């Protein structure tokens, strides 16, 4: 744009004024020489009136102005001056040899367009910026190498223990002593084709796990179900145990696990865990089981986490399907049937429930810890039981739909100054104050919202077949907005890794605290990271949602974001002797290390990254549902649907 006194306005004088009122000259060069002579004479005459000592600043500036006019006259093209407006229209017709114009010298520098954020760049240039498939194959290979490095540390220093302490190079039992990392990792190894890991893990399970079940003491019902039982059942299926299904896209090799043995161990474990259901006076299971005694009891305070009590159905329903014994499914589904009868706040529920009374305890509502997977399984259990979606289990999708409306109405806010979308909390219920706090755990929600919108097929296919309602489209947009926020929780820190918990600046809230340390981030003033919350446990929720959103939207930015997160894990959490470690502070460099490799890093985080960088026909989302520990289980179809699947495979 042109500015004050510049080229788009009228010139300060016309050609007629400089010609002294005479006619036009035919020869342009002669005109130039005449004007130069006239201007020089005027300058000489005026200058001679003054002595050098009386030459003032004003005179000097006048001299500069006249000199500039002379320069322009001498270098003017034969076409004469072009007004600013006309110059804009015909400027493209001039060659590079054209002389400078007044417009060029006097106008203000052009205003540069604002820099687009990463998501807008990918949206506008998705084809140009999309990495070739060979690059994604390379990146997928790097994730597999990371998995094998993590496993090598565990195998060398902690084999048979629940978790590895990679800095101390020893194992620790924090989940009941069932070798949780072994079982959590097995299906990841099968999916990646890490045959040596498959052999080592399956051999350990066959030789040791059944014995441990009869010897070990107290375990948590929820953690043991999602990690150990879920891992066994997924490995059973991917090893060819469920012979009627072949939708995974994963080849069954000779080095696979023994599916019969995996099923045997699964049933033994599930029979012991069922005591938590059958020993409770209500439909809400007790929180803990003593395996060797086959007894169950409540937590010391008598309460269960709502998410833990309600995140059990995928595993037990599938076990009933493959074993032919309905008892597992019946006990687990009683929980959700009971939840259906309880009062809610626009579909939202408190994070504690009492198994003795079957009623909620307290009013704290959040989608982070103790609340998260309740909402996840409302949808996923409905998705898994395909033949009952429109009949006996329709209520689950209705509960999920109501809950998501409640989330949007009561929990979703935008930050200042940059309007990041996030999900906050109601610590004292709907009548209490709103807290702008969001756990990293909440980052499961974008993936769940996307799955709920399209039911696992691509957005493009859903639109082409007119399968998306206005609410589906709204939820899908919310999913993308929340995923952006989750990613910025990574990119706002010095390490590029997210904290366990973040707070957000919102209008009218005085919440304050330190930032993430990356002052180049656009969102450094939107996100607050408090000292007690700045640790990182190698969690999977964000990359889980990136995986689901990439599969559904096919937008390459989710892959690119996932690659940046993986590189940060590699840079700051990799331990040379084997394994990866949690961090104490993601906002400082170098980050202090915590000496713990959670089982879900192998079972979830690396699995989702590997699948994110791979082909979409591997474990397709309209054929598989992932439990909350990322163990894929097949969607349970009717006999007729299974028959069609087999026929399609044969053809």
* pLDDT more than 70, % of the chain: 77
pLDDT at 247: 83
Catalytic residue among 425, 541, 585, 629: 541
Instruction: Name the DSSP letter for residue 324.
Output: -
Binding-site positions read 628
Q: What is the pLDDT of residues 328-342, one digit of tens each?
A: 999 999 999 999 999
Q: What angle do CA 207, 208, 209 make, to 5 degrees?
A: 120
> According to the 3-state scheme, what is the secondary structure of 445-488?
HHHHHHHHHHCCCCHHHHHHCCCCCHHHHHHHHHHHHHHHHHHH
Residue reference for tokens 């803990």: 288
Pick the catalytic residue from 163, 376, 500, 544: 500
Under the banding of pLDDT at 50, 70 and 90, the label for residue 31 is: very low
pLDDT recorded at residue 172: 98
For the residues 188-212, what does the mean pLDDT come to? 97
pLDDT recorded at residue 243? 74
Q: Are 440 and 422 in contact (CB under 8 A)?
A: no
How confident is the model over 224-259, as pLDDT tens digits? 999 999 999 999 999 999 875 668 888 777 677 899
State the average pLDDT over residues 15-41.
39
The strand pairing partners of 198, in sequence order, are none
CATH code for residues 133-642:
1.50.10.10
Assess contact for 569 and 580: CB atoms under 8 A.
Answer: yes
CB 408 within 8 Å of CB 476:
no
Residue-level pLDDT at 64: 61
| Nearest Cα residue to 608 out of 626, 586, 589 | 626
Phi, psi of 288 (to 5 degrees): -135, 150
Of the listed ranges 74-83, 540-549, 564-573, the least confidently predicted one is 74-83
Q: How confident is the model at residue 179, as a pLDDT?
A: 98
Q: Is 163 a catalytic residue?
A: no
264 flagged as catalytic: no
pTM for this one?
A: 0.80
* pLDDT category of residue 162 using cuts at 50, 70 and 90: very high
The Cα–Cα gap between 627 and 228 comes to 12
Q: What is the mean pLDDT of residues 14-31?
A: 37
**Average pLDDT, rounded, for the chain:** 84
Q: Is the pLDDT of residue 263 over 80?
A: yes
- pLDDT confidence of residue 61: 57
Task: Quickly list H helices, 159-229.
Answer: 180-192, 195-204, 210-215, 221-223
pLDDT in tens, 346-388: 999 999 999 999 999 999 999 999 999 999 999 999 999 999 9
Confidence label for 63 from pLDDT (cuts 50, 70 and 90):
low
200 is catalytic: no
pLDDT of residue 95 exceeding 60: no
Q: Which pLDDT belongs to residue 58?
A: 59
Mean pLDDT for the stretch of residues 554-568: 98
CA distance 33 to 422: 71
Percent of the residues in the chain that have a pLDDT greater than 90, as a whole number = 74
Beta-strand relationship, 295-297 and 501-504: unpaired
Query: What is the distance of C-alpha 467 from the center of its chain?
Result: 25
Tokens of 103: 């417009």
Least confident of 156-170, 188-202, 238-252, 281-295: 238-252
Angle of helix 313-323 relative to helix 327-339, nearest 10 degrees, comes to 150
Checking if the pLDDT of 620 tops 50, the result is: yes
| Residue 12: band (very low, low, confident or very high) from pLDDT cuts 50, 70, 90 | very low
Q: What gap in Å lies between CA 454 and CA 448, rounded to an integer?
A: 10
584 part of the active site: no
Predicted pLDDT at 22: 39
Q: Which of 187, 372, 544, 598 is catalytic?
A: 372
Calculate mean pLDDT across residues 164-178: 98
Residue list for the binding site for Ca(2+)? 628
Regarding predicted confidence, which is higher, 464 or 43? Answer: 464
Domain chopping of the chain, boundaries: 133-642
């Amino acid at each position: 744009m042109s500015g004050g006194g510049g080229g788009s306005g009228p010139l300060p004088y016309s050609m007629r004024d400089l010609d002294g009122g005479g006619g036009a000259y035919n020869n342009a060069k002669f005109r130039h020489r005449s004007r130069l002579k006239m201007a020089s004479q005027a300058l000489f005459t005026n200058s001679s009136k003054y002595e050098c000592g009386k030459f003032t600043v004003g005179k000097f500036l006048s001299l500069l102005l006249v000199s500039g006019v002379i320069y322009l006259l001498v270098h003017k093209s034969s076409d004469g001056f072009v007004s600013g407006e006309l110059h804009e229209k015909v400027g493209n017709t001039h060659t590079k040899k054209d002389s400078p114009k007044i417009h060029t010298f006097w106008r203000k520098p052009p205003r540069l367009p604002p820099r687009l954020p990463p998501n807008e760049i990918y949206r506008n240039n998705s084809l140009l910026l999309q990495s070739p498939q060979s690059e994604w194959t390379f990146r997928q290979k790097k994730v597999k190498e990371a998995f094998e490095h993590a496993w090598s540390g565990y195998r060398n220093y902690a084999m048979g223990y629940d978790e590895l302490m990679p800095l101390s190079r020893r194992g620790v039992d924090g989940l009941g002593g069932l070798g949780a990392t072994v079982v959590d990792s097995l299906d990841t190894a099968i999916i990646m084709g890490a045959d040596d890991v498959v052999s080592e893990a399956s051999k350990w399970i066959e030789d040791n796990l059944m014995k441990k079940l009869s010897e070990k003491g107290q375990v948590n019902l929820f953690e043991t179900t999602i990690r150990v039982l879920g891992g066994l059942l997924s490995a059973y299926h991917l090893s060819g145990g469920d012979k009627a299904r072949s939708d995974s896209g994963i080849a069954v090799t000779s080095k696979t696990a023994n599916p019969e043995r995996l099923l045997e161990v699964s049933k033994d474990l599930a029979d012991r865990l069922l005591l938590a259901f059958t020993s409770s006076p209500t439909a809400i299971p007790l929180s803990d089981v003593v395996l060797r005694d086959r007894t169950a009891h409540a937590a010391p305070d008598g309460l269960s986490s709502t998410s833990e009590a309600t995140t059990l159905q995928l595993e037990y329903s599938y076990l009933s399907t493959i074993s032919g014994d309905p008892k597992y499914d019946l006990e687990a589904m009683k929980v959700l049937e009971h939840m259906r009868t309880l009062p809610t706040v626009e579909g939202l529920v408190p994070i504690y429930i009492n198994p003795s009374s079957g009623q909620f305890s307290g009013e704290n509502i959040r989608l982070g810890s103790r609340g998260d997977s309740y909402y996840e399984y409302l949808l996923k259990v409905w998705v898994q039981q395909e033949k009952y979606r429109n009949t006996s289990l329709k209520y689950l999708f209705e509960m999920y739909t109501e809950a998501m409306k409640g989330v949007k109405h009561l929990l979703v806010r935008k930050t200042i100054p940059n309007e990041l979308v996030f999900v906050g909390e109601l610590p004292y219920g709907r009548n209490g104050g709103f807290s702008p706090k969001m756990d990293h755990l909440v980052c499961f929600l974008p993936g769940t919202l996307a799955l709920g919108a399209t039911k696992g097929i691509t957005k493009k296919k859903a639109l082409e077949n007119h399968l998306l309602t206005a609410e589906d489209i709204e939820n899908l947009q919310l999913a993308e907005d929340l995923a952006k926020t989750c990613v910025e929780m990574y990119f706002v820190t010095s390490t590029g890794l997210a904290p366990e918990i973040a707070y957000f600046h919102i209008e009218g809230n005085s919440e304050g605290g330190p930032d993430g340390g990356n002052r180049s981030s656009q969102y450094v003033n939107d996100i607050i990271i408090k000292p007690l919350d700045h640790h990182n446990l190698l969690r999977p929720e964000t990359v889980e949602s990136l995986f689901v959103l990439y599969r559904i939207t096919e937008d390459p930015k989710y892959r690119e974001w996932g690659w940046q997160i993986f590189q940060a894990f590699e840079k700051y959490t990799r331990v040379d002797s084997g394994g990866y470690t949690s961090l104490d502070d993601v906002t400082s460099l170098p980050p202090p290390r915590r000496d713990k490799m959670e089982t879900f890093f192998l079972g979830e985080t690396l699995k989702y990254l590997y699948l994110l960088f791979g082909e979409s026909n591997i474990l397709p989302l309209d054929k598989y549902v992932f439990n909350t520990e990322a163990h894929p289980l097949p969607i349970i179809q009717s006999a007729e649907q299974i028959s069609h699947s087999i026929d399609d495979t044969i053809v």
